[in-house]
A and B are shown apart, each in its own frame.
Chain A
Amino acid sequence: MSSRKERVRGFITSMFFTDPGTVLGEDDSLLQLQIVDSTGFLELVGFLESEFGIKVDDEEMLPENLDTLACIDAFLERKLGAEAGR
């Protein structure tokens, strides 16, 4: 697993409530498991922007970009690739 994904996982498990003993899987839905609520996504986006130097546009705030570790990582991959290619 990439260290990038671990950084995101570390942020989520330290900043949001998870049931004791929960191991956050790559495809676990943050919304369905009620780990992150809609305000929590503001925190998550703030973290991604400062940690990875990206800018998340309003139209990118979608479940398919932010709802699971795998989605977030793929989203970061695209964003970082695109910004590196500029």
Chain B
Amino acid sequence: MTAGTPDPLIEVAGISKQFRTRSGDDVVALSEIALAIPVREFVTIVGPSGCGKSTLLRLIAGLVAPSTGRVRIAGAPVSGPRRDIGMVFQVPVLLPWRTVLKNVLVPAEVIGLERRAAAARAHELLELVGLGGFADKYPSELSGGMRQRVAIARALMHDPAILLMDEPFGALDAMSREAMNLELLRIWDASRKTIVLVTHSIEEAVFLADRVVVISARPGRVSDVVEVRLARPRTAKTRSEPEFVRIAERLRGHFEMVQAA
């Protein structure tokens, strides 16, 4: 097991996950994954496509059950989906018939939060993600980056301790992506959440993280864990610092090995 702080918020212990394909073969998606994530840490998980990193996120979220091993959150085993987690998916998953505000309010509605307090909080969150003037717009009126911001505001609505993000900026162009990375760090700083973010972009993984977890493909195994000691707040210049370049190189090495294999 990875040595972490004594009381990790998220503890993944000896997780394996097998899937049975339609043709009846067993595919090992994840094998013997162990991770300990303390409160307020920003962890990124990077790996080639098909390495099971999205599955790992779903296991932590309780949306998928592991074949062996166990996930604990704040010491308690995860047995199903839970409300102290906010999810951001690869696509924004907005409801097109609801305004931006009503989309952000979905978790409040499901959980049954008091309406006026919830609406006030939703407005605050929209300010936080930089969409203050867009509460009454419909998703079809927004750009891809703006929609994903709405999804982030929605994930924060019920004030979960943990934010799980599955390649949230994968569909954005490079420029919006870098802008969203800065935004996300600002939001993380303001909201004091523990974030686990899955990405296949090495740059993004290093830029955001306190710690980068590298997962290899088939079966998905933790092949490296890298501490990122770059100063915060990070800016566009962070990407050209020698430390950034060094870590990015190291991570890239893993994927070149994968390709060679």
Q: Do A and B bind each other?
A: no
